[in-house]
Structure 1
């Protein structure tokens, strides 16, 4: 066993694989990532992607991407392309791309094999009747009145199903196992149903489609998967997985191993529920930055490395935990702290007039793009007699706890001078429209006459201002675990997206436009004192850029602020 593999022995799945290799020196590791193409991938899928692809790399094996495309009513090529894009963006390459639909002919033959062995039958019970006959955890099921049909009759009926001679829901094919089994899953599960819909791969060739539990294990076997990794909700399904493989004539018998799924605070990970949010226009789509889809996280400004480090940090266990969202934020914050360009932005601008400076006063300051990384270079900022500051950085009334600009109090402009507010102007409604200040030109890089170091605020010159929209994102839900709530829509946070219109530095804005046009690598910014941001490349326009806040400078979220 090489040293790399030894490092992963804290992962219980790696320990199982190590043991398998020790018992079989000729074992060739082969796994797969098998998403249903009925929606976009989310952070929970990222955990599975990282596990499967990293293990295949570690054991010098293979990892397939297999689309579990057995339900044409919910699937389309848009989801197939989005899934491939997400995997590539995360930095992984699959060895083979497969579709369960490729195996429809083989699956059909294996279903007929079960019928011929007396282990499957065509049932005329309705969905509701099947549910009723199945019983419950405390009540055993009872046999269908159609359970004892002859093999010949079942073969004939199954062929009629394939030819489309029954309507949807009129009949189905069920495995004949044990209606009194302690496991509800083993009580004659449905393995084929009728769906009259065009399939994105096979078009109208089929009108019968295998159920997931029937198709999944056989697909694994056809692809000669050695280790089939899935989340704990499929633990009981392993009984059926093994039963099907045992009762058909197929060479490979993969082993299924389960690990805990990812549950993330304040998030919905169910694709069904995410679809509801989209249909009700609560979010803008699968790539909305407020939801934890990989596309949404990417648009918000998360990087592949941050997501992979998060997945590694939470680990692989059999214990279900609700992971703190702050852990995910910590991973991207730690990365952007090292790589994001520092610059200034004003989100809610208010004008400051520096009355002791001439109208044509202009100074150029060269400032670093990162205080601790000279390799990121520098840029120029312009200082003139009229500047913008954030409205939150001024209060008319003096307050001992307020450390920013007030009448009669000094503050320092970042990279520039100390100013003192002396007067204000208001409109008819009483809103402040202008702050009139004195600028002490003897304080560039120096203390004030009183030998003090006043608080520092950010600013942008009126002549150096480039218009921009800023989207500040917070948690979409007010409660810690919305996934558990039946009425999860009643816990939507109305303040999950706040839009501000302000300015960034002109040269920065022009450079970003050129970067977007040339489709170059994204640049991430730390807008000083505000947070980490990235450009929204999808909606940004030439005249106005749109920035998404990736994460605050520190953890600011508090559920009390949502009420």
Structure 2
């Protein structure tokens, strides 16, 4: 399947692929998604997942899932498992094409021997700091290592002994022999292998003490898997000459083409794995799946759907221009998805008791309520109504501001799916705080609005004795500024102190008793919520997914 050049789905990568297919360079395309298992995936990775797997679906072709596991000191099996779960949750399947870079360690070692034999790699005795000092700068060429011209036989011997574990960490490395005067610093004899003792690799255990670098491993892994288009983010653009050098100088079966696109930068959060790891390890958030995190696990726990994330990635498109995407665009995608699919329910987050004095104490009425105002197929439900109900404290004001259309002393509002009520009395405690309202209901107003009756306000409610007690977690932006740490500051200083508000006295209507974790609904007039696994059937926990409209943007203006 292809898209017209002027299609909203068209982008420069699709145009390259279509040109390659039309020219007969490839019969089918092959892409890959190559995460490093050193943390959980975030929304930026979702863009890459949707792009790589989406291209393989559309043209058609294949997309491999391959873990770049060349740095075992930072990697963990937990991350391997979480990444697979996230890709599957987004709706993609790699079939039998699950690979690890460590699958190729023996072949990579053999290709390094090949480079040494061609005089294109040498064992260097400089330590990491000395290598950096010899590399030069953007305006000054590098200086050759004293060991750059070692004889091939000596290099082969030393490299074999490096693998055998004869030398300590940092004592020696294998470097490519390219051009110390190259204007591209990545070509100034980059390190291909380094020694690392005492680490247990999650796939190979203690078999290796010699580990290849990413810049060497990645292109050769692509070539061994016969990837046609190696798609990566723009920070790897300067690494492309090294990518091409690696596949051009060893005996691999194909020559993949690297193509770069702009990474996703999202407002009011951080998108660096290092910073996300810091948030988790220092306890600023409650784990990788904290709903404030931009991780896919966090978004899933917050109630985002796979369809909404795929739609968001489609909306932002694929370009070469760096930009920062508004958080409101992500929120709009989930809001549009949930608005068209989830049922409505009533929940009172900050309860204020209202006693309706002309309703008998023992009487309970069942009120019919639509599960969705626009989707008749979702049916209706019965909501119990009794003498004592709770409304949200924000829906009552003794001294209302201008334009207030909810309940006031002596004023009337309509209860959603029930009667018009009038506030007759306000009851306060010893400190003057409002603790209860006394009201009367117009019992002739059920399901209709009599001629001549004008009631501007409609509020939600829950029968006090029949509601289900719950905890509600209101999540806001992780950071209080659009670009955390801008200007070199500490991003931790920009964390939003109000990113989480926990309400423990909320009540929801009885239909939500026993709600299953992950079940979504709209709390009428409040927002979209999802049941969290922390809850119990007797006391569920609900996470705010997104409000009914974008109020953040207005508040910042």
* Pairwise same-fold verdict (TM > 0.5): yes
The correspondence of residues 514-529 of structure 1 with structure 2, limited to 5 A, is 515-516=516-517, 522-529=518-525
| 3-state SS of paired residue (1:541) | coil
Correspondence list, 1:333-344, <5 A: 333-344=335-346
CA RMSD of aligned residues (A): 1.9
Structure 1 CA distance for aligned equivalents of residues 501 and 454 of structure 2: 37
- 8 Å contact from structure 2 (residues 351, 507) kept in 1: no
Partner residue in 1 for 2:232: 230
Of 424, 428, 431, which aligns to 1:422? Answer: 424
* 3-state SS in 1 of match to 2:69: coil
Aligned partners of 2:399, 2:2: CA distance in 1, in Å?
Answer: 65
- The change in CA–CA distance for 1:232 and 1:339 in structure 2 (over 3 A counts) is same
The answer as to whether partners of 2:513 and 2:538 remain within 8 angstroms in 1 is no
Distance 2:65 2:186 in 1: 27
Contiguous gaps of at least 5 residues in structure 1: 517-521
Give the SS at the match of 1:78: helix
SS in 1 for 2:440: strand
Asked if the contact 1:287–1:295 (Cα under 8 Å) also holds between the matched residues in 2, the reply is yes
Question: Is the contact between residue 462 and residue 509 of structure 2 (CA under 8 Å) also seen in structure 1?
Answer: no
Of 240-249 and 548-557, deviating more is 240-249
1:393 equivalenced with 2:395 (yes/no): yes
Map 1:195-344 onto structure 2 (within 5 A): 195-196=196-197, 197-344=199-346
Residues 123 and 172 in structure 1, CA contact (< 8 A), matched pair in contact too: yes
Deviation at 1:87, TM superposition (A): 0.9
Equivalent position of 2:546 in the other structure: 551
CA deviation string 1:483-506 (max 9, x = no partner): 654411110000001111244444
> How many angstroms apart in 1 are the aligned matches of 2:322 and 2:545?
27
Which deviates more, 140-149 or 47-56? 140-149
Q: 1:427 to 1:548 in 2, by over 3 A?
A: same
More divergent stretch after superposition (546-555 vs 406-415): 406-415
Cα distance in structure 2, aligned partners of 1:8 and 1:367: 40
The residue aligned with 2:60 is: 60
Report whether the alignment pairs 1:161 with 2:162: yes
Q: Which moved more, 1:396-405 or 1:408-417?
A: 396-405
Give the CA deviation at 1:404: 1.3
Partner Cα separation in structure 2 for residue 499 and residue 479 of structure 1 = 22
Deviates more, 1:168-177 or 1:489-498: 168-177
Separation in 2, partners of 1:291, 1:506: 30
- Asked whether the 8 Å contact 1:478–1:559 carries over to 2, the reply is no
SS of 2:129's equivalent? helix
Deviation per CA, 1:152-211: give whole Å up to 9, x if none: 222222122111111112221111111111001111111111112010000000001000
Q: Report the secondary structure of 1:320's partner residue.
A: coil
Match of 1:530 among 523, 526, 529: 526
- Does the CA contact (< 8 Å) of 2:472 and 2:506 recur in 1? no
1:494 aligns to 2:490 (yes or no): no
Tell me the residue number matched to 1:347.
Answer: 349
> Which residue in the other structure is 1:519 paired with?
none
SS in 2 for 1:269: coil
Judging changes above 3 Å, is the alpha-carbon distance between structure 1 residues 486 and 367 closer, same or farther for their aligned structure 2 residues?
same
Structure 2 CA distance, aligned partners of 1:75 and 1:40? 11
- When structure 1 is superposed on structure 2, of 61-70 and 135-144 the one drifting more is 135-144
8 A Cα contact 1:119 1:177, kept in partner: yes
Asked whether the equivalents of residues 259 and 317 of structure 1 are also in contact (C-alpha less than 8 Å), the reply is yes
Q: Where in structure 2 are there 5+ consecutive unaligned residues?
A: none
Equivalent residue for 2:14? 14
> SS in structure 1 opposite 2:481?
coil
Alpha carbons of structure 1 residues 423 and 561: separation in structure 2 relative to 1, 3 Å: farther
In the alignment, which residue of structure 1 is the partner of 2:434?
A: 432
1:446-465 paired onto structure 2 within 5 Å: 446-447=448-449, 451-465=453-467
Return the TM-score normalized by structure 2. 0.96
Task: Quote the offset at 1:71 in angstroms.
Answer: 0.6
Q: CA deviation at 1:444?
A: 1.9
Question: Structure 2: how far apart are the matches of 1:561 and 1:498?
Answer: 19
What is the rounded CA distance, in whole Å, between the counterparts of 1:225 and 1:168 in structure 2? Answer: 33
- Residues 9/551 of structure 1: CA separation in 2 closer, same or farther (3 Å cut): closer
Of 70-79 and 122-131, the range deviating more from structure 2 = 122-131
| 8 Å contact kept, 2:354–2:389 | yes
Relative to structure 1, is the Cα distance of residues 273 and 399 closer, same or farther in structure 2, using a 3 angstrom cutoff? closer
Are the counterparts in 2 of residues 464 and 505 from structure 1 also a CA contact under 8 Å?
no
CA separation of 1:561/1:310 partners in 2, compared to 1, >3 Å: closer, same or farther? Answer: closer
Give how far 1:430 is off. Answer: 2.7
Q: Does residue 536 of structure 2 align to residue 541 of structure 1? A: yes
Once residues 489 and 123 of structure 2 are traced to their aligned partners in structure 1, the CA distance between those partners, rounded to angstroms, is 35
Match of 1:410 in 2: 412
Moved more, 397-406 or 299-308: 397-406
Match of residue 111 from structure 1 = 112
Report the secondary structure of 2:473's partner residue: strand
Deviations 1:318-348 (A, max 9, x none): 1111111111111111111111111100001
Q: Secondary structure at the match of 2:74?
A: coil
